[in-house]
Amino acid sequence: MIDIKTELSEFSKKFNTDLATCFPLPDGAEKRVIEAMAYSVMNGGKRLRPYLVCECAGLFGVDYKTAFPAAASLEMLHSYSLIHDDLPAMDNDDLRRGKPTCHKKFDEATAILAGDGLLTYAFEYLSHSLEIAPDVRLTLIQLLSSAAGAFGGMVSGQTLDIYAVPTGSVQADEDIISRLEQMKTGRLLRYACEAGAVLGKASVQERQILISYARKIGQAFQIADDILDREGDQKIVGKTLHKDDSQNKFTFVSYYGIKPAREKAQKLINSAIEEISYFGAKAANLQNLARYIIERNY
């Protein structure tokens, strides 16, 4: 049995080679923004979201080549969100994936433009992907824009992340944390799995199972991320740590403490693994990925 780290690293090699071809450099001064986009996309992410797209699509027999445009456009959009999140006006970070953030490597204006460029290119690239039938492409574009946007999507989650403050009511605070996580981190992970279902023309029940699996691993992923912020090794994690405490961030970990957070993440992962077993042996990688999400050290 291939372990999930090897599996992910093999997937990443192939995916990175294909992704790099999406960024041809034009002549002229405008090539600076493409260089910044390529720098940020190609700088060593784990590629969890594209892997999820391809693995979920694979449950229904869809091959890598057909799933690639959905996977690549999602990674472009994810990279935009990281560039903008790192900007001084947001999280103000100098380090991402162990390397200088986009605005440190280039400058702030270029980083804003590179984020804008990746966000728009994600949709341009997906909309031109002839491997995918037009009706399926339109559904993917609708789902991706909704997952990324301001109406219950990632932009809303980021807004809560920056502006939400404790209310004093446990119930209301739990609700804020859960909505924040679902929108900021959860919606793109959910899209990754749902895109696989859409590409594979899954039944309503199959699609619901993948959405529920994604919701659970998404929440556990965010908890693991918050634990890493508190307990991780900065050299391995590759970004500045202890920011949640220094910026009084509203997270499950800061609210309840490490132990209950770890227990909650474990429960979510157990449940996700159980749920995805509906697909039998074909779901083994997705089960291993769920385990990896809370065991990872970066």
Nearest to 181 by CA among 170, 173, 192, 171: 173
Half-sphere exposure of 224 (CA within 13 A, CB side): 22
User: To the nearest 10°, the Cα dihedral for 249, 251, 254, 257?
Assistant: -170
110 binds ligand GRG (CB under 6 A): no
154 binds ligand GRG per the rule CB under 6 A: yes
Q: Does 81 bind ligand GRG (CB under 6 A)?
A: yes
**Residue among 82 and 202 whose Cβ is closer to ligand GRG:** 82
Count of residues interacting with ligand GRG (CB under 6 A): 15
Q: Which two tokens stand for residue 159?
A: 């807004």
Nearest approach, Cβ of 3 to ligand GRG (angstroms)? 18
The residues with which 100 forms a beta bridge, in sequence order, are 95
| Nearest CB to ligand GRG, comparing residues 206 and 225 | 225
Interior/surface letters 162-194, b for 16+ CB within 10 angstroms, e for the rest: eebeeeeeeeebeebbebbbbbbbbbbbbbbbb
Judge whether 250 and 163 are in contact, CB under 8 Å. Answer: no
45 binds ligand GRG (CB under 6 A): yes
Question: How many other C-beta atoms lie within 10 A of the C-beta of residue 216?
Answer: 25
Name which of 159 and 277 has its Cβ closer to ligand GRG.
159
**What is the pattern of x (binds ligand GRG, CB under 6 A) and - over residues 83-102?**
-xx-----------x-----
d(CA 19, CA 27): 20
Q: Of the listed pieces 45-53, 128-136, 137-145, 207-215, which binds ligand GRG according to CB under 6 A?
A: 45-53
Taking residues 229 to 258 in sequence order and writing x for each that binds ligand GRG by CB under 6 A, - otherwise, the string is: ------------------------------
Residues 183-222 interacting with ligand GRG (rule: CB under 6 A): 184-185, 222
- Residue 78: closest CA among 121, 108, 107: 121
Least spacing, CB of residue 163 vs ligand GRG, in Å: 13
Two tokens, residue 20: 């790099």
Least distance to ligand GRG from the beta carbon of 162, Å? Answer: 9
- 173 Cβ contact partners less than 8 Å away, ≥ 6 residues apart: 166, 167, 250, 255
The correct pick among 225, 232, 265, 287 for binding ligand GRG (CB under 6 A) is 225
Q: For ligand GRG, which residue of 95, 155, 160, 164 counts as binding (CB under 6 A)?
A: 155
Instruction: Assess 73 for contact with ligand GRG (CB under 6 A).
Output: no
Which residue is at the shortest CB distance from ligand GRG? Answer: 45
Kindly indicate which of the ranges 30-38, 79-87, 125-133, 248-256 contains the residues binding ligand GRG, using the contact rule CB under 6 A.
79-87
Q: How far apart are CA 44 and CA 118, in angstroms?
A: 16
Rounded distance between C-alpha atoms, residue 289 and residue 40, angstroms: 24
User: Looking at 73, 110, 158, 285, which residue binds ligand GRG (CB under 6 A)?
Assistant: 158
Query: What gap in Å lies between CA 164 and CA 178, rounded to an integer?
Result: 12
At closest approach, how far in Å is the CB of 242 from ligand GRG?
A: 13
Least spacing, CB of residue 226 vs ligand GRG, in Å: 8
- For residues 269 and 220, the answer to whether their CB atoms sit within 8 Å is yes
Residue ranges that bind ligand GRG, judged by CB under 6 A: 45-46, 48, 81-82, 84-85, 97, 154-155, 158, 184-185, 222, 225
